[in-house]
Amino acid sequence: MPIADEQEILSGEAVAIDVQPVGFVLRAAGALVDMLISFAVFFAFVFVQLWLSNMNLMSEHLGRILTVVAMVLSFLVLPVTVEMATRGRSVGKLIVGGRIVRVDGGAITFRHSFIRGLLGVLEVYLTFGGAAVIAGALTARSQRLGDLVAGTYAQRVRTPRLEQHLPYLPPSLTEWARIADVARLPDRLARRVSQFLVNAPRLSPAARVRVAQELATEASAFVSPLPPVSPEELLLGVTALRREREKRALANADDRAERLSGRRVRV
């Protein structure tokens, strides 16, 4: 997946996707907040346990059992429950603007949260975050061991709003668009043209003209009739026309599917 710049990711169709992983520093800061909350809950249990012991309301044997229960509740049950209740968020992730999602971008399930929580006891709490820091520093998406096993990562939720780079049909090509045939344009060439149009404003004038000319020369073999316009205008027109016709074809396919499903229901 090509990366256009630090603020956007482009798909194979040159569409800007507002989805980015949380950086290592922010991920560590959020994890530290969550870890402090879990330790605070654990020490609250310990304080209550000591108070009960001093009041002779609890035996030493029962105290040990309650200590283990407090550890499980604070370091496993609490993180998993909060992550499930908030659909991948926690206090720390809320602060840094992140959410735990699957590697394909989908929402996590209990299985993902439980695996992360179980391994989190080892890599976050027993090592005071040392193992998680090492794993996060060595992975591209700052994934800790629990993320690698569960197939998850921390996705940024608060991201800068990206500009939509939608192709437009130049006014000089309005009449041409009514009779033009661009269906034979190969998909790979169409993606290259789309990527050029997205990045054209960031190119130097000389490079912009050169690349536009090269792409227009390649595309002209698949465009009929060929309009007498500049190379970049041609690329804009071809891309806008293809997009509009593909959108119309998808809408027609949806209409046909709805009509067929309606007939089956009546039958």
Could you report the per-residue pLDDT of 113-149, keeping only the tens digit for each?
999 999 999 898 888 888 888 988 888 888 999 999 9
Are residue 24 and residue 141 in the same domain, yes or no? yes
User: Is position 185 within any domain?
Assistant: yes
Are residue 140 and residue 183 in the same domain, yes or no? no
Average pLDDT score over residue span 33-62? 88
Are residue 99 and residue 210 in the same domain, yes or no? no
- What pLDDT is stored for residue 263 in this prediction? 55
Are residue 122 and residue 180 in the same domain, yes or no? no
Are residue 195 and residue 247 in the same domain, yes or no? yes
User: Is position 8 within any domain?
Assistant: no
User: Is position 163 within any domain?
Assistant: no
Last residue of a domain, one of 115, 133, 156: 156
Within a 13 Å sphere around the CA of 198, how many CA atoms are in the beta-carbon half? Answer: 25
User: Is position 4 within any domain?
Assistant: no
Number of domains composing the chain:
2
Q: Which residue stretches of 73-204 are H helix?
A: 78-85, 91-96, 110-120, 130-138, 145-150, 174-179, 187-199
Are residue 28 and residue 130 in the same domain, yes or no? yes
Are residue 107 and residue 33 in the same domain, yes or no? yes
Are residue 112 and residue 180 in the same domain, yes or no? no
Are residue 112 and residue 176 in the same domain, yes or no? no
DSSP-assigned states of every residue in the chain: --EEETTEEE-TT--EE---BPPHHHHHHHHHHHHHHHHHHHHHHHHHHHHHHHTT-S-HHHHHHHHHHHHHIIIIIHHHHHHHHTTS--HHHHHHTEEEEETTSPBP-HHHHHHHHHHHIIIIIITTTHHHHHHHHHSTT---HHHHHHTEEEEESS-PPPPP------GGGHHHHHH-B-TTS-HHHHHHHHHHHHHGGGS-HHHHHHHHHHHHHHHHTT-BSPPSS-HHHHHHHHHHHHHHHHHHHHHHHHHHHHHHHHHHHH-
Residue 147 contacts residue 116 (beta carbons within 8 Å): yes
User: Is position 148 within any domain?
Assistant: yes
Query: Closest Cα to residue 192, out of 229, 242, 228?
Result: 242
User: Is position 26 within any domain?
Assistant: yes
* Domain membership of residue 137 as a residue range: 19-156
Say whether pLDDT at 7 is over 50. Answer: no
Last residue of a domain, one of 128, 156, 184: 156
Task: Indicate the average pLDDT of the chain.
Answer: 82
What's the distance, Cα to Cα, between the start and end of the chain in Å? 46
- What pLDDT is stored for residue 164 in this prediction? 53
Are residue 129 and residue 250 in the same domain, yes or no? no
- What pLDDT is stored for residue 40 in this prediction? 94
Are residue 150 and residue 175 in the same domain, yes or no? no
Average pLDDT score over residue span 73-86? 92
Last residue of a domain, one of 156, 185, 209: 156
Average pLDDT score over residue span 213-217? 93
Are residue 142 and residue 26 in the same domain, yes or no? yes
Say whether pLDDT at 241 is over 50. Answer: yes
Give the percent of the chain with pLDDT over 90. 32
User: Is position 12 within any domain?
Assistant: no
User: Is position 11 within any domain?
Assistant: no
